[in-house]
Amino acid sequence: MFQILSKSQTDTEAIAQKIAPLFQSGDLILLDGDLGAGKTHFVKGFTQGFQSEDSVTSPTFGVANFYRAARCDILHIDLYRIATIEAFNDLGLTDYFDQCVVCIEWGTKFADYFDDCLLVSLASKGANERLITFSGHSDKYNEIKATLC
């Protein structure tokens, strides 16, 4: 487990951008936190860390967005409106998990289903401060800590 305090939206994006080089195809990140906690902005910074030119938006209607990048593509999923794991499976998105880094907002809804993932939790500590906690089944803590400290 590793925690870092973000003091602004830009801070959150910079944190995500810095750790992006530690990830590759097949890696899975679950993003947890209330509405407006900063999950989408985290993915925005993360995608910038892959030098992607695609713009990151909340995947409101399509449930998922793909962002192209030279090193590997990013698959951004939002499970807020997905009620069951069956409904998620019907989307066929897991077919792409091996070929992309996968970031899933509200992924902890089905936490038992997604194993072997890094959990990134964002907790609001006021208007602009967010405590970001990295946890879950990941061997990347030491690298994340070394990158961010």
Query: What are the residues binding ligand ATP (CB under 6 A)?
Result: 6, 8-9, 11-12, 33, 35-41, 58, 105, 128-130
- Give the one residue of 8, 9, 40, 124 binding Mg ion; rule: CB under 5 A: 40
**Smaller CB distance to ligand ATP: residue 41 or 52?**
41
8 C-beta neighbours (distance < 10 Å), count: 14
Other C-beta atoms within 10 Å of 147: how many?
A: 14
Nearer to Mg ion, 41 or 138 (CB): 41
Both structure tokens of 44: 């925005």
48: partner contacted, choices Mg ion, ligand ATP, none (Cβ within 5-8 A by kind): none
Name residues whose C-beta falls within 8 Å of residue 118's C-beta, 6 or more positions apart in sequence: 27, 28, 29, 30, 134, 135, 136, 137, 138, 140
Stretch that binds Mg ion, among 6-14, 58-66, 92-100, 114-122 (CB under 5 A): 58-66
The reply on whether position 58 binds Mg ion by CB under 5 A is: yes
133 binds, options Mg ion, ligand ATP, none, Cβ within 5 to 8 A by partner type: none
CB of 139 to ligand ATP, least distance (A): 26
Burial status of residue 51 (CB atoms within 10 A of its CB: 0-12, 13-18, 19 or more): exposed
**How far apart, in whole angstroms, are the C-alpha atoms of residue 18 and residue 77?**
21
Region for residue 33 given its phi and psi (left: phi exceeds 0; alpha: psi -120 to 50; beta: otherwise):
left
Residue 8 binds Mg ion, judged by CB under 5 A: no
- From the list ligand ATP, Mg ion, none, which binds 59 (C-beta under 5 to 8 Å, kind-based)? none
